[in-house]
A and B are shown apart, each in its own frame.
Chain A
Amino acid sequence: MTNLDLTKPTAELADQGTPLLEVDDLHVEFRTRSGPVHAVNGVSYSLAARETLAILGESGSGKSVSAQAIMGILETPPAVITGGGIWFQGRNMLEMPAEEQRKIRGPGISMIFQDALSSLNPVYSVGFQIGEMFRAHRGMGKKEARKRAVELMDRVRIPAAARRVDDYPHQFSGGMRQRVMIAMAIALDPRILIADEPTTALDVTVQAQVMDLLKDLQEETGMGLILITHDLGVVNEVADNVAVMYAGEIVERGTVDDVFTRPAHPYTDGLMSSVPQVESKGGRLQPIVGQPPNLARIPSGCPFHPRCSRRRLGAEAAPGRECSTDVPPLRLVVPGREAACHYSEEVLGVPAQ
C-alpha cells in the first residue's frame, strides 16, 4: 500500500484537517429485468475524523445503497456503480484491486446493520465471530483472538463477557446482539464506522443505551461516524451534520442545528411538520401529500415537485427555474447551508442573491 497507513490511531489524524472520506458524485443503479432503477443519483459528501454525519431519508431514498457502495458490499449485478468516486484518505476505492479494498474493510471502514440477528451467523458463537476479525486481519491464533473478543465485549458493555463469549447469537437480547455487532465493527479500530439504522429495530430505552455507547466509542477513538436513519430525533441528539436524501439525491445539507431550526428545502420542512413530537401534543399534523417516488420512474425536474406545496410550474416559475423541467442543483443558499431547491430563499425567508 502506498500512502495508506492504517496503523496510527485515528485521533492523531484528526488535527490534520484532511477528510477521512470523500464521496464524489456517486451514481448507483440496479439493472433489473423491467429496466434500470436509479437508487443513487450524484451523491457527494465528506467526513472528517470525530465527525458524525447523519444521512436522513425515508425508505427508498438511497441512503443505505450509498453506504453499501462505500463499504463495497453492493451485490453486483444487479447493482452497478455507474459514476463517481469514493476517496478514502486520498485514494479512490473504486479503482483499487479487490484485495486492497478488502484490507480497508475492517481497519479502515466498518459497518453495523439494522438487523443484528440476521447479520450474525447463528451457528458460530459470538466470541468466534468477533475473534474472526483478529484472525483474518491480524493473523492471530484462536486463543489470542478469543481473549481479544472478551475484551471487546467488555468494551461494548456486555455484562459477564467472559462467561457469555461462547454463547450463540440467539441467546442474546436484541440490544445485546447489537452490541456484539458493534464489537465486531470496532474490533480493528476503524477510521470510519457506518451505522445503517443501528437502533430502528430496538426499543426506545435500548436505543438510548446503544446510541450512548456509539458516542462514547467515538470519543475514545476519534473515528468518523456515518449514521443512516429516518429518525429525526436520533439525528438531532447524536449528529453534527446532516444530509437529507430524497429519491437518490441529497436535497439539503448543513449542521443539524441549522437544518433543524430553519429548513431550506420544502421536503425537510415538510418532514419536520409531519412528525409529532414527544415534547408537546401539538396541533394537527401537516403531512406531505402523496408517496415517495418509485426509483424506476423518478419525476422529471425536481424529484420532489409532485409533492411540493411551493412548486412553481409553467408561467409562474422564474426563467430556468421551472420545477417540473429544470433540475435544481445542490447549491449554497446561505453560508454553511446547501439545498437543492430553486426557491430555497423563500423557504428560509431570506432575500435571493
Chain B
Amino acid sequence: MSQPSEHGATAASSLPAPVPGQHEHSSLTKLTSGVAATGARGEMGEALLEVRGLQKHFPLTQGIVFKRTVGHVRAVDGVDLTLRRGETVGLVGESGCGKSTVSKLIVALEKPTAGSIFFKGRDVARMGGRALKDYRREVQIIFQDPYASLNPRMTVGDIVAEGWSVHADVAPKKGRLKRTQELLDRVGLNPDYVNRYPHQFSGGQRQRIGIARALALQPEVIVCDEPVSALDVSVQAQVVNLLEDLQDELGLSYLFIAHDLSVVRHISDRVAVMYLGSIVEEGTADEVYSSPSHPYTQALLSSVPLHEPALRGQKDRILLQGDVPSPADPPSGCRFRTRCWKAQDVCATDPPQLVDRGQGHPSACHFAEARMVVPVEAE
C-alpha cells in the first residue's frame, strides 16, 4: 500500500467491521495490485454508489415521417439505492419492473431522465471526458445472455483484453497475454484456451469469460444483470460460488439484479424489491425475507415454490389477481394498489414514501406490517 490510510493492510483484520453482516477484509492479491497503486481501497462500508430519485422515461412515438410523442413508458420512476464497499445489494422484481434499465443507467449506457447517480460522491451526469472514462472502468457489468454478450468473431483472449485498448494504463502492453491467462485461470477456465472462440464453450464457461472481461479492468463495482438465469441448475451454483470468492478476494461490490428470489437471498447482504419502476421495500436479506412488510413483497415471496416436502402447504398463500399494469399508464398514488388487498382511498391519492413505519426497515406502503410468509427452516 503506497497511500497512508487509517488502517494499513495488516491492521485491517483487527478493526471491527463497520457494518455488521459484511464480508471480512480480504488480502489484496496480485490482481488488484494495480488498483492499490492508483489509489488505495477505502474502508469497508463506505458508500460507493448512491442513486437518488433515478428516473428513465422512454418516449412512445406515433407516425412514420413526422414522429410525435404520444406518451412515455416510465421504466424507472424514482429509484433510490446505496451500494457500499464490499457488499452485495440484490435488486429483485418481475419482468418489466425496470430492473435492467436501472443497470443500464448505472453503467452509463443510458442517460437518466431525472435523478442522479453519485460514485464516491461525484455526480456521474456531470463527469466528462477523463472522469467518465475512469467511472466506466470502475463500474463493470456482466450480462444475462452468455451467448449474445460475447462477440463470436473474437477469441476469448481478445474479448478479455479488449478493455485494455481503451484503458491502456491498467495493463502494460508487454504482459497482457500473461494477465489474460491469469484472469482465465482465476475464473476457472484453462489458460490455454485464450485462442478459442466463444462457440467452443458451454453456457457456464461463457459466463466465466464475461466475468473475466469485467475483472480485467480492476473494477470496484460489478453490476450483475441476471448472471445465472440462463444457466442450468447444476452450473448456476458454480458461477454463484465464483462470484462470492472473487468478492472475498478482491473486495468487490455487486449490484446483483435477478428475478430468482432464492439466488438473491443466498448472495445478497441487502435486498431491494422493485415493482413497476420503483422500489417498494428495502432491507437486509433477513429483514426482507423473514419479515416482509410490503404486500407486494409478501405476495412475491409466497409464490416461490419451496423445496422441502416437510414445509409444503405451510406457507401463507397469497395469490395476486391480474397482471402488472402498463408502465406507460401507471396507477395514481401507490403503483401496487390495483392488485393490493389492503388498498384504501389514500392509496390512490398519496404515493407512499419508502420509509420505516415501525416494521424495522423501509417499505413503501401506507399500511406496512411485517408478516412472515415463508416458513423458516428448522435447522
* Inter-chain contacts of B305 with A (CB < 8 A): 208, 211, 231, 233-234, 236-238
Residues of A within 8 A of B234 (CB): 58, 270-271, 274, 287-288, 292
Return the chain A residue nearest B314 by Cβ. A279
Task: List residues of chain B with CB within 8 A of the CB of A16.
Answer: none
User: A286 within 8 Å of B by Cβ?
Assistant: yes
Chain B contact residue count (CB 8 A cutoff): 49
- Any A CB within 8 A of the CB of B303: yes
Question: Is there a chain A Cβ closer than 8 Å to B348's Cβ?
Answer: no
Q: Is the CB of B303 within 8 A of A237?
A: no
Confirm or deny: A175 has a beta carbon within 8 angstroms of a beta carbon on chain B: yes
Count, chain A residues at interface, CB 8 A: 47
* A285 interfacial contact with B, CB 8 Å: yes
A278-B95 in contact given A209-B320, A272-B307 (Cβ < 8 Å)? no
**Contact across chains for A281 and B266 when beta carbons are under 8 A apart:** yes
| Partner among B205, B233, B263, B323 whose Cβ is within 8 Å of the Cβ of A271 | B233
CA distance A289 to B285 in the complex (A): 28
CB-based contact B377/A277 at 8 Å: yes
Kindly identify, within residues 160 to 210 of chain A, every residue whose CB is under 8 Å from any CB belonging to chain B: 173, 175-176, 203-209
Q: Which residue of A lies closest to B244 (CB)?
A: A284
A118 at the interface (CB under 8 A from B): no
Q: Is B375 an interface residue (CB 8 A)?
A: yes
Distance (whole angstroms) from the CB of A196 to the closest CB of chain B: 17
- Contact B241–A275 (Cβ < 8 Å): no
Once the chains bind, are B265 and A276 in contact (CB under 8 Å)?
Answer: yes
A346 within 8 A of B: no
- Taking the complex as formed, is A282 at the interface, i.e. its CB lies under 8 A from any CB of chain B? yes
Cβ of A295 under 8 Å from chain B = no
The answer to whether A261 touches B237, judged by C-beta atoms less than 8 angstroms apart, is no
Residues on A with C-beta less than 8 A from B151 are none
- B241 contacts across to A, CB distance below 8 A: 284-285, 287
Contact status B319-A278, CB under 8 Å:
no
Report if A59 contacts B (CB, 8 A): yes
Q: How far is it, in angstroms, between the C-alpha of A204 and the C-alpha of B323 when the chains are bound?
A: 12
In the assembly, what is the distance between CA of A20 and CA of B4, in Å?
A: 76
Chain A residues in 8 Å Cβ range of B240: 276, 285
In angstroms, Cα B308 to Cα A260, docked, is: 7
Would you call B263 and A59 a contact (CB within 8 A)? no
Alpha-carbon distance between A281 and B285 when the two chains are bound, in angstroms? 8
Q: Taking the nearest CB of chain A, how far is it from the CB of B178, in angstroms?
A: 27
- Which chain B residues lie closer than 8 Å to A220 at the CB level? none
Query: Nearest-CB distance from B374 to chain A (Å)?
Result: 5
Chain A residues contacting B376 (CB-CB under 8 Å) are 279-280
A257 sits at the interface (CB 8 A) = yes
Closest to B301 in A: A278
Chain B residues near A211 (CB, 8 Å)? 305
- Find out whether the CB atom of A257 lies under 8 angstroms from the CB atom of B244: no
A298 at the binding interface (Cβ < 8 Å): no
Partner of B261, one of A234, A278, A280, A289: A278
CB-based contact B308/A277 at 8 Å: yes
The reply to whether A276 and B233 contact each other, CB–CB distance below 8 Å, is no
Q: Are B377 and A256 in contact (CB under 8 A)?
A: no
Q: Which residues of B contact A176 (CB under 8 A)?
A: 323
Query: Would you call A212 and B265 a contact (CB within 8 A)?
Result: no
Q: Is A74 part of the binding interface, using a Cβ–Cβ cutoff of 8 Å? A: no
The answer to whether A286 touches B265 (Cβ under 8 A) is no
Closest residue of chain B to A287 (Cβ to Cβ) is B237
- What per-residue 1/0 map shows which CB atoms of B251-270 lie under 8 Å from chain A? 00000000101110111000
Smallest Cβ-Cβ distance to B92: which chain A residue: A204
Asked if B310 is an interface residue, CB under 8 A from chain A, the answer is: yes
8 A Cβ contacts from B358-378 to A: 374-377
Report A103 CB to chain B, min CB distance, Å: 36
Question: A23 to B262, alpha carbons, bound, how many Å?
Answer: 35
CA distance A203 to B99 in the complex (A): 14
Interface: A76 (CB within 8 A): no
Contact of A208 among B259, B286, B303, B375 (CB under 8 A): B303
Is the CB–CB distance between A233 and B236 below 8 Å? no
A6 within 8 A of B: no
CB distance from B16 to the nearest CB of A (A): 22
- On whether the beta carbons of A58 and B319 are closer than 8 Å, the reply is no
User: Closest A-chain residue to B375, C-beta based?
Assistant: A279
Given A205-B320, A285-B240: A274 touches B311 (CB 8 Å cut-off): no
The 19 listed contacts between A and B (C-beta, < 8 Å) are A58-B232, A204-B261, A205-B94, A208-B302, A209-B320, A232-B307, A236-B307, A236-B309, A257-B309, A276-B237, A276-B266, A277-B306, A278-B289, A279-B308, A279-B374, A280-B377, A281-B266, A285-B237, A287-B234
**Chain A residues within CB distance 8 Å of chain B:** 58-59, 159, 173, 175-176, 203-209, 211-212, 230-234, 236-238, 256-257, 260-261, 270-272, 274-282, 284-289, 291-292
Residues of B in contact with A (beta carbons under 8 Å apart) = 94-95, 202, 204-205, 232-238, 240-241, 244, 259, 261-263, 265-267, 285-286, 289, 299-312, 317, 319-320, 322-323, 374-377, 379
Given A175-B323, A231-B305, A275-B262, 11 more A-B residue pairs with CB atoms under 8 Å apart are A204-B259, A238-B305, A256-B309, A261-B310, A271-B233, A272-B307, A278-B265, A281-B289, A284-B244, A287-B235, A287-B241
